[in-house]
Amino acid sequence: MRQPRTWGATDRPDKGLFASAIKAIGKIIRHDEFTSCAAEHTRAASHFLVFFGFIALAAVTFWVITGPINPLLRNGFLYPFSFWSPWKVLANLGGLAVFAGCVLMIRDRLHNRDNAGSSSYFDWAFLWTIFAVVVSGFVTEFLHYLRMVPHRHVAYFIHLVFVFALLIYLPYSKFAHLLYRTTAMIYAEYYGRTRDNAARARNDKGSDSAASNEVSP
């Protein structure tokens, strides 16, 4: 009997597309591959911070961009936000999370290279760009509250330059794996080609081999 080509999977869908997407997104949110792998476990904290920090910043940015057509923007939710506005607090917490995650990543790449892996120029450029975006954002906010003109405008311009660099190189940086990896994980769930299925296939194969040896003369 011919064995399936990849991880014991067939060419038939293992589950529905929507169910596959929900399960894959759940794994991404929980960071299953980071927390279950001993080699990646030390990087889970920094990845968690950057991942959820960017989600918080993206939510606030989306809220601001949709302001003119968003009926929920009233009073304290109007942009520009006050310091204790829920959206300002969320943005600051998200920025702090990304900052802390970047610091941990830089530390790991400098002092824990065995677990962090090899670092290329593109890895460092991407990491330092994220770091510069967050730091310039906090500097802009600080100067804004001090009402320092034109310093806050210059800082804001520099911040936007780093944001533009981060976005324009998005398809060519590790940010792209947010889309590519998610698509691959949904595909794997859809056709049953996950690591869990691979492990079960290896265990089943081992059990079959052991059973064959027992009955062999």
User: What pLDDT shows up at residue 194?
Assistant: 67
d(CA 113, CA 103): 15
Residues 6+ apart with CB under 8 A from 212: none
Question: Whose structure tokens read 């961009």?
Answer: 65
Provide the pLDDT confidence category of residue 9 given band limits of 50, 70 and 90.
very low
d(CA 43, CA 9): 30
User: What pLDDT shows up at residue 196?
Assistant: 57
18-31 pLDDT tens trace: 777 777 777 766 66
Q: What are phi and psi for residue 115, nearest 5 degrees?
A: -90, -30
Would the pLDDT of 166 be above 60? yes
Question: Taking residues 114-122, what's their average pLDDT?
Answer: 66
Looking at the chain, how many residues does it have?
Answer: 217
Provide the pLDDT confidence category of residue 162 given band limits of 50, 70 and 90.
very high
Provide the pLDDT confidence category of residue 210 given band limits of 50, 70 and 90.
very low
Residue with more model confidence, 15 or 197:
15
| Domain edges within the chain | 18-29+41-67+75-195
73-103 pLDDT tens trace: 655 455 566 778 888 899 999 999 999 999 9
